[in-house]
Structure formats: structure tokens, C-alpha cells
Amino acid sequence: MYTVAEVLREKGSSVLTIGPDATVLDAAHMMNEARVGSLIVATGEPREGELEACIRGPAVSGLVGILTERDLLMRVLAAERDPKTTRVAQVMTSRVLTCQPTTPLEEIRGVMRDERIRHMPVLDGGWIVGMLSIGDLNIAETVTLTHTIETLEAYIAGG
């Protein structure tokens, strides 16, 4: 796996979104139920359809931010805000770094490392078509390294 599109083909391209006016408590419940570390904050409506040959599923427009576990910890819990009354827009990260389906994984890994982020929405033509996490990159690298080792072992055994 070398590009975002290949990772999304394996893991799926569904995205979890929440509106900026939702409460932080609702967001936390959604994250817990889905067992994810972030939600895309968007104002647009989902649409169905194929956006690229290898990416299928619902897409969403209107990216306005991202809400992560770190946001909840630092901007809600540590700030002693009430999650029942605090709105997502008040604590989300507004500066969202994104990638495209054609972006090489090495480039994304570098950005995630340098910017100290663990989640990156995938955009295609202005539509949010997926989400990558550092865990997705680690799985892709493990698969690649395993394939390389198997190829080298086969070469040595046959050589």
C-alpha cells in the first residue's frame, strides 16, 4: 500500500461527522460508540456515490474542523467545561490538515510527525471521502515490510 486510496480501499471510506452546534457530550458518546479518536466537524449533507474508482461510500462537504481526543482532554476536561452545554465549535481544532486519495503515505507520515497529529481527513474535489489515522499508516507499513521480508526470504531460498 503506497497511497491513501489504497489504504481506504482496504479499511473503507466511511467518515463520522458531527455538526459544530452539537454538544461535546454527544460527540464523546459518538466517539465511544464507534471506538474512534476523532470526528470530522462538518456543515454539509452526506451524499452517496463513487468519487474515484477505488473509493466508494458516503462523502460529506463543509469541513469546518476536527474534534479529537486531545481536544476533549485539553479544552473540555482540563478547562473544566460542562460537556452537556459546551458546543463542538467551541473546542474543535479549526486548522485541519488534509490529504487527497493520491497522496503518498510517506508524505502523510511526515506531516503527522511534524505537526504532531494523529488523524487526517481525506478530501477529493472538496468532498470528505475518508479519514486516515496514524494506526492506518502503521498497518500499511507493517504490510509493506512483511511483503518485503517474504520477497527477500524467497530470493535467498531460491538463490
What are the sequence ranges of the domains in the chain? Answer: 4-158
Question: pLDDT for 36-72, tens place per residue?
Answer: 999 999 886 655 443 333 333 455 678 899 999 999 9
Contact in structure between 113 and 10 (CB atoms under 8 Å): no
Beta partners for residue 67, in sequence order: 39
- Quote the percentage of the chain above a pLDDT of 90: 62
Task: Indicate the pTM of the whole model.
Answer: 0.81
Question: pLDDT for 79-120, tens place per residue?
Answer: 999 999 999 999 999 999 999 999 999 999 999 999 999 999
Cell numbers that stand for 95 in this block: 486548522
Residue 54 DSSP class: T
Nearest of 159, 148, 135, 150 to residue 7 by alpha carbon: 135
Beta partners for residue 41, in sequence order: 18, 65
Number of C-beta neighbours around residue 21 at 10 A: 10
Question: At residue 149, does pLDDT exceed 60?
Answer: yes
pLDDT at 49: 42
Instruction: Say which residue, 104 or 12, is predicted with more confidence.
Output: 104
pLDDT at 48: 47
Alpha carbons 77 and 157: distance in angstroms, whole number: 56
Q: Domain 4-158 - what CATH class?
A: alpha beta
From residue 76, give the alpha-carbon distance in Å to each of 24, 26, 29, 80.
8, 13, 14, 6
